[in-house]
Amino acid sequence: MVRSQALRAILTGFFRGQVMRNRETGHTLVELIIVVLFIGIFAAIAVPRINFSAITRQKAETVAKKIVTDLRRTRSLAISDAAGNTQGYAIRMSGSSPYTQYRIRNRDTATVVDIHEIPSDINVTGGATFRFGPLGNLVDGSDTTLTVTGDSRSFTITLIQATGMAKCVQN
C-alpha cells in the first residue's frame, strides 16, 4: 500500500509539473495582440515606401510587346485572308497623342476585328495608322514607328515598309 501511494504521489507530482511547464511556455492573448499590432505598424510604415514606379516601367514593356504582337497578328491576318481580301488589314490608334486605344480593322469590309485599351499611365505616341496589304507589307502612306513610354522606360516599335516586320527596342 505504501508503495502504491508513493507511486501515486510521484506520478501526480510529475503530471502537475508537466501541466505547469505547458502553461509557462504558452503565450497570453495580450502578448499575441501586441505582436500583431507591431506587425501592423511596421507594414503601415513600409507599404508607402515601396517603389511602384517599377510596376509602371514593367507595364510599359508589357504594352509595347502587346502592340508588337497585335501588329504581327494584323500582318498575319492580311496574309492569311489575301485570297478573299485585296485591301488587307490595319491598326488604327484612337484618341489624340498619347493614344488611348487601338483597333484592328478589316480594310475590305471595314469591320473591327479587335479593340484594345491603353492604360492611362502609359504614353503611346507616334504613327496612328498601320495598313498591311495582302502580301504582309506596309501599304504606302502607312506610319512606321510608335513610341511607348511609362515612367522612365521607353520603347520604340519600328515596322519595315517592304516586309511589314515589326520590332521593339528599348531606348
d(Cα 60, Cα 151) in Å, to the nearest integer? 8
Q: What is the pLDDT of residue 150?
A: 86
Peptide bond into 48 cis (omega under 30): no
Q: What is the pLDDT of residue 21?
A: 53
Beta carbons of 59 and 122 less than 8 angstroms apart:
yes
What 8-state DSSP symbol labels residue 120? T
Contact 67, 75 (CB under 8 A): no
Say what the pLDDT of residue 69 is.
95
pLDDT of residue 17: 55
C-alpha distance from residue 96 to each of 22, 65, 72 (Å): 71, 21, 23
Which ranges of the chain have pLDDT less than 70?
Answer: 1-25, 49-54
Class of domain 53-170: alpha beta
- Return d(Cα 162, Cα 153) in angstroms, integer: 29
- Residue-wise burial string across 58-93, b where 16 or more C-beta atoms lie within 10 A, e elsewhere: ebbbebbeebbebbbebbebbbebeeebebbbbbeb
Q: Tell me which residue of 63, 68, 111 sits closest to 87, measured CA to CA.
A: 111
Helices assigned H by DSSP within the chain: 2-25, 29-46, 53-80
pTM (predicted TM-score): 0.69
Contact predicate 155/61, CB 8 Å:
yes
Q: Which of 151, 171, 119 is nearest to 53 (CA)?
A: 151
pLDDT at 90: 95
Given this model, what pLDDT does residue 27 score? 79
